[in-house]
Chains A and B, each alone.
With several copies, the nearest count.
Chain A
Amino acid sequence: MPVTKVLIANRGEIAVRVIRACRDMGIATVAVYSECDRTARHVRMADEAYPIGPNPPRESYLRIDALIAVARASGADAVHPGYGFLAENEDFAAACRDAGLTFIGPSPEVIEQMGSKTAARQAAMAAGMPVVPGTTTPLGADVPDAEVRRIAESIGYPLMLKAVSGGGGKGMRVVNGPEDLSGALRAARSEAGSAFGDSAVYLERRLLRPRHIEVQLLADHHGTVIPFVERECSIQRRHQKVIEESPSLAVSPDLRRRLTSAAASVAARVGYTNAGTIECLLDEDGSFYFLEMNTRLQVEHPVTEMVSGVDLVQWQIRIARGERLTIDPEAALTPRAHAIECRIYAEDPDNQFLPSPGRILRLQAPQGPGVRDDSGATEGLAVPIFYDPMISKLIAWADDRPQAIARMRRALREYEVHGIKTTIPFFRWALDDADFLAGRFDTAFIDRTLAERGGAPFDQPAADDETLAAIAAALHLALGGGTAPAVGVTPAVSAWRQQARVEALR
């Protein structure tokens, strides 16, 4: 199937990532954008750009009709969905197919099957991969609280309440006991409904100190499935990953063999094609359980790219074209050194990781050996409030884990993001934490940390830093720098003023 011009049905860093892969392969790119993204990086980088509506995702990035119309208007012959938005929406994949477009991902049928978390659990069981005990059928919005409570008690607390059509930690809640159930159910259903258009949920036993381990796969249209060295993704906040690495300290070569072959079996059984990921929980006793399958590219795919030397996005396109996988399966399971990723979010780690949107007044990404920054941001642009607040993924690669962590520390120190709060201070803390360094952590690491710290900020200036800041502030003022953006000297300000002028002209 031809892939000569790709419409990228996404925004932010992943749209930029896909544009780069296309450009490396000589493929033309078409960007789409909502109103607030008119000057976003992906719009400026792509060969063509098309507006698709107002800022709320439902009115732009989630509009299947608008996206298909842009594909037609631009003459694109393929669509890359990125992650999030419509990446796991079988209707979108089917609409692309119906419009004669190559969808760079699995078939709508597989998306639908694995998109239902309960159906996916059944598929895993059929392929012989263990699953976490829990409900095997969805609990729709019409199932009364009392009924859910009854099922919950039959599984036993603590448990996880999850959206059947979930992903990215949305529509997911921990339920420690019966008293939490109603609130959690309401929140999860509401989030799931607004995020995925499906408010059905299911229940799963909550393991006490599990690690989140996942297996990246590539599968072609000729029956070959290649699993890669596992990724360790236990460092999460609000059920969203913030640090990922590969390989995992907790996975021995023998366990890697068993885990990856179980994952590959699940993919083979459902006739999976393109890139996908099997997420697992790894219990303290070394048993692993199928959690769900993400039928798309993952945010953290660069970690695997760094330790395998494989460009996963280019392979997505090659698979969609019908090419055969030529990757050596043994090499894919042999880690080439160590990689670690920190997700730089526009969030305030000292305020429960709540989003901190705003304008990026200064931005300088780290560079140099072993450092990769996949960013969707540019200096002077605002982080909009409508979308995921991740602005970049910083990846460090080195011979072994301690060196990769040291390099990440260096890169974080080089990273300048000013004007908004970011998760950088949290990473600086985490990368010095004894438990993290020793690999003693599970998925509750951040929650426990936050509880233990009792509000102590991650970004805590030392007395010396406060004195230096006072000196810098005074010299800034003395040398002509102001405090107010409206009359200040930052370059973003001229941009604001100019923008205002543009608006006035319209």
Chain B
Amino acid sequence: MQYALRIGGRTRQVVLRRAGQGWHVTVDGSSFDVHAAVVDGARLSLVVGDGAGAGRSVPAVVVPGREADALDVAVNGTTVAVQVASPERSRRRGGAAGDDTGPQRITAPMPGKVVRVLVAPGDTVAAKQGLVVVEAMKMENELRATRPGRVTTVAVAEGQSVDAGAVLAVVE
């Protein structure tokens, strides 16, 4: 079995092959002998060592991520976002917010309610200037421009509920 997994901006090729009681695993060419056991639908117990169950104990919790075909994998006290790569998926991923060039797409970091819109299309804004205030969990969070520019779109109105990731405004 072979999987292309995108982690931290880089795609890894993972090849699994049954070997005795365990698995012979290569990740981008590096080899590991792993014994794997399912604890429940999300919990795996890995023993990385001789493939027969002796070695480093790595409990892993694997749950669906927020995006399609994404997994959040918790190992060793950290959570790693894994995108299961496939051709369709790669196309869908273009144009994410937060690029250093091009238009700034200001998105809601969490679901909430727009309590105040501080700018209108056509406004010129400075870096760090507040654009939209979203309330969630009793806190007001002012979302700001990262760089100076001109507001081209305000996509929400005061009082509107927004989902996480929803575009609030675009600054060019």
The interface of chain A, by Cβ under 8 A from chain B, is: 31, 33, 38-39, 43-51, 57, 70, 73, 170, 183, 187, 190-191, 194-195, 238, 346, 348, 351-352, 354-358, 361-362, 378-381, 385-389, 412-413, 416, 418-419, 421, 425, 428, 459-462, 464-479, 481-485, 488-492, 494-495, 498-499, 502, 505-506
Q: Are B63 and A490 in contact (CB under 8 A)?
A: yes
A475 to B60 alpha-carbon distance, docked (Å): 10
Question: Which residue of chain B has the shortest Cβ distance to A381 in the bound complex?
Answer: B39
A490 to B53 alpha-carbon distance, docked (Å): 25
- B157 interface residue (CB < 8 Å to A): no
- The 0/1 profile, CB within 8 Å of A marked 1, for residues 73-93 of chain B is 111111110101000000000
Q: How far is the CB of A502 from chain B (nearest CB, A)?
A: 6
A493 to B90 alpha-carbon distance, docked (Å): 27
Q: Are A50 and B53 in contact (CB under 8 A)?
A: yes
Q: Are A51 and B54 in contact (CB under 8 A)?
A: yes
The residue among B7, B60, B75 with the most chain A CB atoms within 10 A of its own CB is B75
Q: Are A51 and B52 in contact (CB under 8 A)?
A: yes
The residue among A238, A378, A418, A506 with the most chain B CB atoms within 10 A of its own CB is A418
Q: Are A498 and B38 in contact (CB under 8 A)?
A: yes
Q: Are B72 and A413 in contact (CB under 8 A)?
A: no
Q: Are B110 and A354 in contact (CB under 8 A)?
A: yes
Q: How far is the CB of B63 from chain A (nearest CB, A)?
A: 4
Q: Are A469 and B63 in contact (CB under 8 A)?
A: no
A484 to B55 alpha-carbon distance, docked (Å): 31
Q: How far is the CB of B60 from chain A (nearest CB, A)?
A: 4
Q: Are A51 and B110 in contact (CB under 8 A)?
A: no
Q: Are B137 and A475 in contact (CB under 8 A)?
A: no
Q: Are A470 and B5 in contact (CB under 8 A)?
A: yes
Contact among B1, B44, B111 for A357, CB-based, below 8 A: B111
Q: Are B8 and A466 in contact (CB under 8 A)?
A: yes
Contact among B18, B45, B71, B138 for A506, CB-based, below 8 A: B18
* Contact (A481, B110) CB under 8 Å given A469-B7, A473-B5: no
The interface of chain B, by Cβ under 8 A from chain A, is: 1, 3, 5, 7-8, 12, 14, 16, 18, 21, 23, 25, 27, 30, 32, 34, 36-49, 52-66, 68-80, 82, 84, 109-112, 115-116, 130, 133, 135-142
Question: Which residue of chain A has the shortest Cβ distance to B8 in the bound complex?
Answer: A466
A465 to B56 alpha-carbon distance, docked (Å): 13
> Which of chain B's residues have a CB closer than 8 A to the CB of A357?
110-111, 136-137
The residue among B52, B70, B73 with the most chain A CB atoms within 10 A of its own CB is B73
Q: Are B25 and A47 in contact (CB under 8 A)?
A: no
Q: Are B42 and A49 in contact (CB under 8 A)?
A: no
A238 to B110 alpha-carbon distance, docked (Å): 17
Q: Are B137 and A388 in contact (CB under 8 A)?
A: yes
Question: Which residue of chain B has the shortest Cβ distance to A30 in the bound complex?
Answer: B57
A183 to B130 alpha-carbon distance, docked (Å): 9
Q: How far is the CB of B76 from chain A (nearest CB, A)?
A: 5
* Contact (A425, B78) CB under 8 Å given A470-B12, A472-B58: yes
Question: Which residue of chain A has the shortest Cβ distance to B46 in the bound complex?
Answer: A472
* Contact (A385, B38) CB under 8 Å given A43-B57, A466-B8: no
The B interface, classified by DSSP as helix, strand, loop or mixed, is strand
Contact among A46, A348, A473, A475 for B34, CB-based, below 8 A: A475
Question: Which residue of chain B has the shortest Cβ distance to A356 in the bound complex?
Answer: B110
Q: Are B80 and A466 in contact (CB under 8 A)?
A: yes
Besides A49-B47, A428-B77, 10 new A-B residue pairs in contact (Cβ under 8 A), listed by A number: A45-B59, A50-B55, A51-B54, A187-B142, A385-B137, A465-B80, A474-B14, A475-B34, A476-B44, A483-B71
A369 to B70 alpha-carbon distance, docked (Å): 37
Q: Are A479 and B36 in contact (CB under 8 A)?
A: yes
The 9 sampled A-B contact pairs (Cβ below 8 Å) are: A49-B55, A355-B137, A466-B7, A469-B82, A472-B73, A478-B16, A483-B64, A490-B42, A498-B41
* Contact (A472, B60) CB under 8 Å given A357-B110, A460-B78, A491-B40: yes
Q: Are B137 and A483 in contact (CB under 8 A)?
A: no
Q: Are B40 and A170 in contact (CB under 8 A)?
A: no
* Contact (A477, B72) CB under 8 Å given A491-B41, A494-B40: no
A194 to B62 alpha-carbon distance, docked (Å): 39
Q: How far is the CB of A191 from chain B (nearest CB, A)?
A: 5
The residue among A44, A45, A471, A482 with the most chain B CB atoms within 10 A of its own CB is A471
Contact among B23, B75, B112 for A469, CB-based, below 8 A: B75
Q: Are A474 and B1 in contact (CB under 8 A)?
A: yes
Q: Are A478 and B54 in contact (CB under 8 A)?
A: no
Question: Which residue of chain B has the shortest Cβ distance to A479 in the bound complex?
Answer: B38
The residue among A47, A195, A483 with the most chain B CB atoms within 10 A of its own CB is A483
A488 to B138 alpha-carbon distance, docked (Å): 32
> Which of chain A's residues have a CB closer than 8 A to the CB of B56?
47-48
A39 to B60 alpha-carbon distance, docked (Å): 12
A240 to B37 alpha-carbon distance, docked (Å): 34
Q: Are B63 and A468 in contact (CB under 8 A)?
A: no
- 10 closest A-B pairs by CB: A489-B41, A469-B80, A472-B60, A469-B73, A474-B14, A495-B40, A476-B62, A44-B59, A49-B57, A51-B53
Contact among A355, A361, A379, A473 for B82, CB-based, below 8 A: A473
> Which of chain A's residues have a CB closer than 8 A to the CB of B77?
412-413, 428
* Contact (A170, B1) CB under 8 Å given A356-B110, A468-B58: no
> Which of chain A's residues have a CB closer than 8 A to the CB of B61?
362, 416, 418
Contact among A43, A190, A473, A505 for B71, CB-based, below 8 A: A473
Q: Are B36 and A475 in contact (CB under 8 A)?
A: yes
Question: Which residue of chain A has the shortest Cβ distance to B66 in the bound complex?
Answer: A358
Q: Are A473 and B73 in contact (CB under 8 A)?
A: yes
Question: Which residue of chain A has the shortest Cβ distance to B135 in the bound complex?
Answer: A194
